[in-house]
Amino acid sequence: MIRRCLSAIQLFLFIVLVTFSSNLNGQELKRKSSLGIMMQPLNDSLITTLKLKSNTGLYISDVLAGSTVENLGMKRGAVLKKLNGVQIKTIPDVFNALEDFRADDSITIEYVFNGKTIIRTGKGIARPKEKYEKANITYGQVKYRDNILRSILYTPKGKKNTPVVFYLQGYTCGSFEFPFSSQHASLKLIRDWVDAGFSVYRIEKPGVGDSQSKINCNDGNFTQEVIAFKEGYKALLNSQAVDTDNIFLFGHSMGGIIAPLLNEVKSPKGIITYGTISKPWYDYMKDLYTLQPKIFNTPQSQISENNKIGLPFLEDMIVNKMPAKDLAANNDYKNYLGSQFAELERGSYIGRSIAYWQTLCEVDIPEAWRNINTNVLAMHGEFDIQAIDDTGAKGIVALVKDKTKATYKLVNKTEHGFVRFNSMQENVNALQNGTYRQHAAKNYNQEVAQITIDWIKAKAKAE
């Protein structure tokens, strides 16, 4: 039952498009290579179904056409065991095994497929770039100390000096570029904005995608990430390709925490959030342990039993700031975490470093919103499991200085990733039975885009 509770916390890690970080070794960004896999941790069901002899490795839920691993013969349903001789136990292991993986670099993969162990050696294949017939797409870079970040700017063809949406993504270290994923809901949202006449701007995090950084994203902290987005914002403010008087920040999930912090650089024309919170991070994490499991039908008795250890672990980790090695030395925590304990031994928890969660806990999220005096649209999806409930969006509206500028909007029958479901239980079932990705590809809810488009048009004309 502990595993059921923890799996709910890891929803963003359920499907990850693999890209890799690099060291700062030049002044111009070069294109990265990618494995081209969708992967997820092994669970008891997969181990039984695949008749695996061990629980180490990552399940490959999809292999992308034209990718490095497809060229090496890997197929969907394989279990990745090693990369360049490094044993793979967790998703961060993949990033760490190939920190600077570029086109034509040598790679050796070991995986299990249909009960057989297969070892193949070849060369990395460069990722393609995004394409969209209705937009000019500029791949640029944002330079600041020890970092060169990849930036991507969509501008509508045939239009000049347009309003621009700065899309601030969620917490993971996966690339926020979609050359392989034309059905990704975030990319569909971006294209809807372009179709409406807006430009759209993104940056990769330090050590993610093409970005070059001395610090691997998985080792970085929240403060460093905020600095990265501030530098990206400064670069956008200096752009000649868009209307910098009409910049709208779109904070999705963790991006909704970062958005008000960019106000320290310059107040934007507006801020839109979706699926985020307005309370201190520690309080939200307690909700993940006590409230979110109920969505997954975990009995209250089991939640209470789990949290006899879970809540002290949480407090030691992000309030008391106990080092990862000390947390890992606690046998109660080791038993509680189960298969996640290997990640903790490496200094991480649910996909980010312990330092990331500790520095995030230092941020006064309510105070950041109290300092906002611009237009705000706070959105909540009716079936958003990660945000848990609408108190985050409604709390934002209550906190901003000028209440006449803040609006709350519920998006019916929609979950955290802009995907439409008929019920919360249907969403839960899709996550638990492995059909979420297939459902998401066909059920992007365009209402998310339309709400934001109408709001941006109104605010861009005003004042």
Token couple for 204? 């990769």
What stretches of 315-435 show up as alpha helix (H) in DSSP?
Answer: 324-328, 331-337, 341-345, 354-361, 365-370, 391-399, 424-433
Instruction: Tell me the mean pLDDT per 10 residues along the chain, length 463.
Output: 36 37 50 87 88 89 90 94 94 83 90 94 92 97 95 97 98 91 94 98 94 90 98 97 98 98 98 98 97 96 96 96 94 92 92 96 98 97 98 98 94 98 97 93 97 97 66
Minimal CA–CA distance to 19: which of 156, 131, 137, 176? 176
- Which region holds residue 114: left if phi is over 0, alpha if psi is between -120 and 50, else beta? left
Give pLDDT, residue 462: 65
Query: Within 13 A of 6's CA, how many CA atoms are on the CB side?
Result: 22
DSSP strand E in 84-186: where?
86-87, 106-113, 116-123, 135-144, 147-156, 162-168
Minimal CA–CA distance to 91: which of 357, 340, 431? 340
Give pLDDT, residue 19: 41
Contact status, residue 193 vs residue 112, Cβ threshold 8 Å: no
Give pLDDT, residue 268: 98
Query: What's the predicted TM-score (pTM) here?
Result: 0.83
Distance CA 376, CA 276 (A): 13
* All residues at 6 or more sequence positions from 403 whose CB lies less than 8 Å from its CB, including other chains: 397
Burial of residue 341 (CB within 10 Å: 0-12, 13-18, 19+) is middle
For the CA atoms of 82, 85, 89, 91, what is the dihedral angle to 10 degrees? -80
Distance CA 400, CA 234 (A): 23
Token couple for 135? 């937009």
Give pLDDT, residue 14: 34
Give pLDDT, residue 143: 96
Give pLDDT, residue 104: 86
Token couple for 408? 């709350």
Give pLDDT, residue 321: 96
Radius of gyration (Cα) for the chain, nearest Å? 21
Q: What domains are there in the chain, each with its CATH number?
A: 33-123 (2.30.42.10), 135-280+362-461 (3.40.50.1820)
